[in-house]
Amino acid sequence: MKKGLIVYVTDSSSLPQNFEPDKALAHLSLSYDSFVLAASIDGFYDIPAAWHFMLTRGIENVSCVKARLDETGDIELYGEPLRLYG
C-alpha cells in the first residue's frame, strides 16, 4: 500500500522568496512514498486539492501533518500526522 503525506505549512507568510518546495521536502527523512506541500497562499495546494492529487496518483494511505519553516528555510514538522484516507 502506497503511503503519502501532505505537509501543511501553517505560517505561509514565513516562506522565503526563493523557497524551493521539492528541495525542502527532499530533506525530510520519513517513511512515505510521496509528499505534497500545502499552504494557504497562491501557487500551493490547499489540503483538499493535495488530497485529491494523491488519490488520483494511486496513493492508498494519505496523512496530513502541520509544519513550519525554520530560519534556514528547512521544513520542521510538528504534531502527529493525521490519517485522512486509507
Type of residue at 51 = W
Report pLDDT for 57: 94
In this predicted structure, the answer to whether residue 77 has a pLDDT above a threshold of 80 is yes
Q: b/e string for 25-47 if b means 16 or more Cβ within 10 A?
A: beebeeebebbbbbbeeeebbee
pLDDT, tens digit, 9 for 90 and up, residues 2-52: 999 999 998 867 677 777 878 888 888 888 999 999 988 887 899 999 999
- Domain boundaries of the chain, sorted by first residue: 3-85
